[in-house]
Amino acid sequence: MIVEYFRPKDIKETLDLIKSPEIKTLIMGGGTSIDRYANEPFAVVDLQDLGLNSIKAKGKTLEIGATVSLQALFEHPDIEPDLKVSIRMERALNLRQVATVAGTLIASGGRSPFSTVMLALDASIALEPGDENIALGDLLLFREEKLETRLVTRISIPLNAQLAYEYIARTPADVPIVCAAVARWPSGRTRVTLGGTGGAPVLAMDGPDGGGEEISAADAYSRAGDEWASSDYRQEMAQLLVKRCLAKLSN
Amino acid sequence: MNIKLTINGESHEVEIKPGDTLLKTLRGLGYYGVKHGCETGECGACTVLIDSKPVNACLFSSAQAVGHSAVTIESVGEHPEQGWKRSPGLHPIQDAFVESGAIQCGYCTPAMVLAAKSLLDSNPNPSDDEIREVFSGILCRCTGYKKPVQAVLRTAAAARGEEIDPTDGMIPASPEWLGGDGDPSSGLEEPLTGIETGEVIAPTRVMPKIQVTPETEAWQKVGKPEKKVDAVKLVQGKPAFAADFDRRGLLYAKVLHSPLAHAKIKSIDKSKAESLPGVAAVLTWQDIPRVVYSTAGQSDPIPGPLDSFSLDNKVRFVGDRVAFVAAESEEIAIQALDLIDVKYDPLESILDPSDALKPGAPILHDEPEYVNFAESDPARNLAAEIRIDIGDVEVGFSDADHIFEQEYEVPKVQQAHIEPHVSVTYWDEDDRLVIFTSTQVPFHARRQLAPVLGLPIKRIRVIKPRIGGGFGGKQEVLSEDVAAHLTIATGRPVIYEYTREEEFIAARSRHPMRIRMKTGVKSDGTITANGMYALSDTGAYGSHALTVTGNTGHKAMALYVGDGEYRQSPNIQFHADIVYTNHPPSGAYRGYGVPQGFWAVERHMEKIANQLGIDPIEFRMKNSLREGELQPFSTAWSEGREPSPETIETCGLDECVQQGRAAIGWDQKHGDQDWHLIPGKPHLRKGIGVALVMQGTAIPYLDMGGASIKMNDDASFNLLVGATDLGTGSDTVLAQMAAEILGVKVEDIIIYSSDTDFTPFDKGAYASSTTYISGAAVIKAAEEAAKRIQVRAANMFNEEAESPTTNAEDVRLADSKAIAPDGRTIPLADIGLETLHHKDQEQIMGTGSFVSPVAPPPFAAQFAEVTVDIETGQVVVDKLVMAVDSGVIVNPITASGQVEGGMTQALGYAVSEEMVYDSDGKARETNLQDYHIFQAHEMPDLTTIFVETFEPSHPFGVKAVAEIPIDGVAPAVGNAVFDAVGVNVDANPITPEKVWRELKNKR
């Protein structure tokens, strides 16, 4: 349960708080992913006063402050239509108003449409202290280690990459059973990611140019069965959705 | 910590704990319009506006809200009558919600109003899609979202100065509104033309189409779209629900649930929990009397086994009760649960119902206190057994040219009412136990709880406030005993409110079944015999085991009797075994076994018609039950009681089929191969399907409702009913019936339901019975009062000098007046004053009760249109149409709301909803994300058509409407998928992988 609440005014104060040895201290973005009913006592650090809520286009990159809400990103004019789709699929409006971009990525599981798409876009995560930049893919695999006593301040995504997202779900707004995203840069670099199961979306391919996307997807989801779908279904669907993404990009 | 919050423009200094949610703080401050529906932000019942944006208060910390502006429903509009104080009245959005029928249970209404306000404040011209998007974060289990969306469209249209479609007029329709799809005269949603500008304006019509019966034409209140009598309070978010009743010294209850599917409790050490500061009581099975009972809220004697204890020394499912805690706060109670040390002896469990009857299977109920009902046999894990044979199916099968056999399966699904189960208990000043509870069955709850609590019935008072949806889930006595035991233990008031996870793991659900059909048919399509065997999984306890599954056969297997000689003597067999397993218990859920049956029957009929090459509608109509015929099951079974023959007096099925097929464009689509293809999308196929269904109306010779009515000085009337409006609008239709008899406005009927101390008995809200049973009781009570009014009016007329003699029976009551045959009138208010104050004083009042010898079935034709992705198997439902004969429709707006909401629940049953368990019996679905119910922005088009008949067994000709909408959607969708891609999915929900697999098998 939450036993202390802090609202620091700057990053240094934030870092000092989350380093506190006295009590486990969690960073609270929008607060939508915090388990308030856990019996273990913990403190929360609310980031809303840090000024990390702006979105800036810098050259070919969109820099998204860590506390930008999903809805604010959804409403931004520069983002790809399929990124919008993934945000809309991630959470309903009420939660999008509060859930932050950083918080959503950090707390996301493998069924997250938004994480799947951001992974395809090779989102870069800026961490303090040290102003270190780390790829989302690296962060998702090692969240606990990488984020211990550190703060995400910014997420950067390319503005020059084309993006396609496809999903299968029981209903139009349901959590996906399988989803796929393909991002392609002008250089031909192509990233394929898959979601719908597991602890995090997976990178199926990152190649300097196209080719082999569908096979990569099938390989990546060759053992992706769980209580929601069988492995053979996911494998075939991953391949199909990637094919559809590629067709979309070609159009 | 001490914080300052700005709420509705006012500053509040509040002492909070750092982890307190804004929901908790706001409710603590008395803002009860903010509701609790879940703890994970999925339901949106707790929506408030933070800086003008809709936000879930259950996930927003109070501390986070510092520096922001919070707006709750309490700041939006007020009752237009405030005595001498001038009132601005309701907000236009609230007015629109009230008049559009956008409110059913009202639990999510404050959230929807606030969300709509946030939208309209920034966008005065929203589209249908934009409104649905703003509602996407708010789950409504009652309405199907159609009317709330229309309410916002109407608000915006009115603000733009456009003329909106009136709601106060009947739209009588005759068969000329038959028309194909795309014909504007057949659609309910066609854009209207601007009155002055000629521009297309928002579709603001909320009235459904109704083909009215001639008998209703003279009526003033019955058959009219009167506003819901509780709408004004619900739209303001008034503290009308059980959890809104605050008591000084209230303790918070929590339940420790079993982590194991089947185990003996070896020991429980509660000492650490008891010593935690703030804990008032910890109860285990060793602390309370061991009284066997059933949690099923049914009439006495309960038609099922007595196999439950408040707390037992054995657990039978993951989620079963182990201990109760009461503490000064919810947080302390949760902490205390962690401190209870329980040692279990795990037992072998049964997680597949087909294992339950096997020799050597583990026995769930070996307790000596177990009380059998009928054929229940705990030694065989059998909660109930049904063997119904009508005619001789073997003879019928031998008559047949073709035999069709197939197995079907239906899943366990949850009612998912947005208000959880909640009870507040306390000792009153007379040391009587008061139970405020969100129940559908207050009188059954009182009777059933008495022995469990060790109190006589007369020392218990059950009060049912407004209910935030029930759908059968609250026909179970589930939360009341927990709070009551803790009140008895502590002497203090206690609240016990389920969490959403508890709703999934520890409440009740629809019985999952495996069903085998065997049908004999002649080559001309005549059904010669129809057999069904159902293996029904009641879970760990046998609540509603017999009666739910009995209705699977009683309704679903009654619809197709066969043709020709078989009409007079059908051959029907329905056998069922209802077995115990270590799954959470099943129970009552809207439809009560019938949706399970119709999934099998209607999928089966479709296949038979297809294989015989007969039009599926023609095949069904050839064999279906008709007016004047015997309900075949009426001579064989009646919920565990003596059956009695019932003739079908009214059946509008043929007209329902005609109207429904016209509305969906069946004739243009079915059989047209081009229509099934979508240009430019070769991976998609369209399909269209139908299902015919019937239900019942109440339980004959058993269900009884009572009513009393008294006249006041101003000719208003207090109508007291035990009937339980769980959001359906039953209070409104009962008031309409009383108003019709007494000749007054509906607003002059002050209806109150229900309180076991004050209101007459009623069996409660189930079996689609309230309008029919309780309505007839209200009519009797009102007629008794009306007779006295006529007598007193005649006396007053006759006291006038030189006037002709007026007989009481010739006095008419209308327009709040008594009207003599010669046209003279006396205001009813004058009669009220005369009888209470002036002369021969008396209290004009009436009482009535009603029990029916019959259960007249409503009939319906349900249609679905789908798009199937042949590569992924994904099914999108595009359109649902329901044409229903529910007898006379007392209130077209509330009734169409029932149909829309029912179809939406059934849509989940068709494609997404199911409760799945792992090999340890642990639930996959514990929240409303994994258990996905339809949201506003993903709904198909919904169309409702009422085909009225006049049911002679009721004074106003009514039949049931509440449950039948849920019966036929899933099979209609299944049949539409078959039409689209030629494969059969025989186990719902129809998930993408199931369709994909069948498509692969076909290739």
Interface predicted TM-score (ipTM) of this complex, two decimals: 0.97
Distance from CA of A187 to the nearest CA of B (A): 30
Picking from B19, B41, B873, the nearest residue to A94 by CB comes out as: B41
Distance from CA of B852 to the nearest CA of A (A): 42
Phi, psi for A14 (deg, rounded to 5): -65, -45
Which tokens is B916 given?
């799945």
Q: Would you give the distance in Å from CA B362 to the centre of its chain?
A: 36
Say what the pLDDT of residue B755 is: 97
Contact B992 A171 (CB under 8 A): no
Q: How confident is the model at residue A129 (pLDDT cuts 50, 70, 90)?
A: very high
Distance from CA of A218 to the nearest CA of B (A): 15
pLDDT at B185 over 60: no
B996 touches chain A (CB under 8 A): yes
CB of A234 closer than 8 Å to CB of A178: yes
d(C-alpha B165, C-alpha B426), whole Å: 48
Closest residue by Cα to residue B207 from B234, B180, B226: B226
The domain limits of chain B are: 2-75, 92-215+231-235, 683-695+867-913+929-1003, 704-851
d(C-alpha B880, C-alpha B894), whole Å: 18
Q: 3-class SS at B572?
A: strand
- Chain B stretch 304-333, residues whose beta carbon is closer than 8 A to a beta carbon of chain A: 331
Which tokens is A164 given?
């396609």
Contact A170 B992 (CB under 8 A): yes
Instruction: Indicate the number of domains in chain A.
Output: 3
Q: Which residue of B has its CA nearest to A230?
A: B993
Contact A31 B64 (CB under 8 A): yes
Contact B934 A43 (CB under 8 A): no
d(C-alpha B810, C-alpha B518), whole Å: 60
What residues in chain A have their Cβ under 8 A from chain B's Cβ atoms?
A: 1-5, 7, 28, 30-32, 36-37, 39, 43-44, 46, 48, 71, 91-98, 168-175, 177, 227, 229-230, 233, 236-237, 240-241
Does an H or E element contain B879, and which?
strand B875-885
Picking from B19, B63, B938, the nearest residue to A172 by CB comes out as: B938
d(C-alpha B140, C-alpha B19), whole Å: 28
Q: How many CB pairs below 8 Å do chains A and B form together?
A: 128
Q: How confident is the model at residue A40 (pLDDT cuts 50, 70, 90)?
A: confident
Mean pLDDT of B227-253: 97
* Domain B2-75, CATH class in plain words: alpha beta
CA distances from A232 to A174, A177, A243, B723, B846 (A): 21, 13, 17, 53, 69
What tens digit of pLDDT does each residue of B439-484 get? 999 999 999 999 999 999 999 999 999 999 999 999 999 999 999 9
Task: State the greatest distance between any 2 C-alpha atoms of chain B, in Å, as a whole number.
Answer: 93
d(C-alpha B225, C-alpha B736), whole Å: 10
Contact list in A for residue B63 (CB cut-off 8 A) is 5, 7, 46
Say what the pLDDT of residue B286 is: 98
Is there a single domain that holds both residue A226 and residue A213? yes
Q: How many contiguous H segments (helices) and E segments (strands) does chain A have?
A: 10, 12
CB of B882 closer than 8 Å to CB of B862: yes
Q: How many contiguous H segments (helices) and E segments (strands) does chain B have?
A: 25, 34
Q: 3-class SS at A178?
A: strand
Is there a single domain that holds both residue A150 and residue A175? no
**Do strands A178-184 and A162-168 pair parallel, antiparallel, or not at all (unpaired)?**
antiparallel
Distance from CA of A244 to the nearest CA of B (A): 11
Q: How confident is the model at residue B804 (pLDDT cuts 50, 70, 90)?
A: confident
Architecture of the domain defined by B704-851: 2-Layer Sandwich (3.30)
- Chain B stretch 361-400, residues whose beta carbon is closer than 8 A to a beta carbon of chain A: none
Looking at chain B, the whole-number percentage of residues with pLDDT higher than 70 is: 96
CA angle A38, A43, A47 (to 5 degrees): 115
Q: How confident is the model at residue B186 (pLDDT cuts 50, 70, 90)?
A: very low
Picking from A2, A170, A240, the nearest residue to B932 by CB comes out as: A170
β partners of residue B823: none
Picking from B60, B331, B916, the nearest residue to A227 by CB comes out as: B916
Least trusted range by pLDDT, from A137-146, B284-293, B973-982: A137-146
CATH of the domain at A215: 3.30.390.50
Q: 3-class SS at A218?
A: helix
pLDDT at B178 over 70: no
Distance from CA of A24 to the nearest CA of B (A): 14
Contact B39 A39 (CB under 8 A): no
Residues 6 or more apart in contact with residue B406 via CB below 8 angstroms: B516, B517, B603, B604, B607, B986
Classify residue A100 as exposed, middle or buried by CB count within 10 Å of its CB (0-12, 13-18, 19+): buried
Is there a single domain that holds both residue A102 and residue A134? yes
- Tell me, yes or no, if the two domains B683-695+867-913+929-1003 and B704-851 fold the same way: yes
Contact list in B for residue A226 (CB cut-off 8 A) is none
Q: In what order do the strands lie in the sheet with B402-410?
A: B382-390, B572-580, B527-539, B513-521, B402-410
What tens digit of pLDDT does each residue of A78-96 get? 999 999 999 999 999 999 9
Is there a single domain that holds both residue A41 and residue A64? no
Closest residue by Cα to residue B742 from B849, B852, B851, B845: B845
Contact list in A for residue B993 (CB cut-off 8 A) is 177, 229-230, 233
Which DSSP state fits B244? G
pLDDT at B170 over 70: no
Is there a single domain that holds both residue A205 and residue A246? yes
Which DSSP state fits B506? H
Mean pLDDT of chain B: 95
Q: Which of A137, A158, A179 is the last residue of a domain?
A: A158
d(C-alpha B870, C-alpha B1002), whole Å: 12
Contact list in A for residue B911 (CB cut-off 8 A) is 170-171
Say what the pLDDT of residue A20 is: 83
Which DSSP state fits B917? B
Q: How confident is the model at residue B203 (pLDDT cuts 50, 70, 90)?
A: low
Q: How confident is the model at residue B768 (pLDDT cuts 50, 70, 90)?
A: confident
Considering the domain B683-695+867-913+929-1003 in this protein, what is its CATH number? Answer: 3.30.365.10
Contact B134 A169 (CB under 8 A): no
Say what the pLDDT of residue B880 is: 98
Ranges of H-type helices in A91-182: 93-98, 101-107, 113-120, 136-141, 143-147
Contact A94 B55 (CB under 8 A): yes
Q: Which of A103, A136, A158 is the last residue of a domain?
A: A158
Is there a single domain that holds both residue A151 and residue A91? yes
Architecture of the domain defined by B92-215+231-235: Orthogonal Bundle (1.10)
Ranges of H-type helices in B38-165: 92-100, 109-122, 128-134, 146-159
What tens digit of pLDDT does each residue of B369-389 get? 999 999 999 999 999 999 999
d(C-alpha B16, C-alpha B30), whole Å: 15
d(C-alpha B118, C-alpha B132), whole Å: 13
Is there a single domain that holds both residue A89 and residue A150? yes
pLDDT at A29 over 90: no
Say what the pLDDT of residue B169 is: 52
**Do strands B704-711 and B47-50 pair parallel, antiparallel, or not at all (unpaired)?**
unpaired
Q: How confident is the model at residue B210 (pLDDT cuts 50, 70, 90)?
A: confident
Task: State the greatest distance between any 2 C-alpha atoms of chain A, in Å, as a whole number.
Answer: 56
Contact list in B for residue A39 (CB cut-off 8 A) is 334-335, 338
Which residue range is the domain that position A16 belongs to?
A: 2-46
β partners of residue A183: A163, A191
Distance from CA of A97 to the nearest CA of B (A): 7
Q: Which residue of B has its CA nearest to A35?
A: B40
Contact A98 B56 (CB under 8 A): yes
CB of B865 closer than 8 Å to CB of B878: yes
Picking from A43, A93, A177, the nearest residue to B133 by CB comes out as: A93
Does an H or E element contain A164, and which?
strand A162-168
Q: Count of CB atoms within 10 A of residue B85's CB?
A: 7
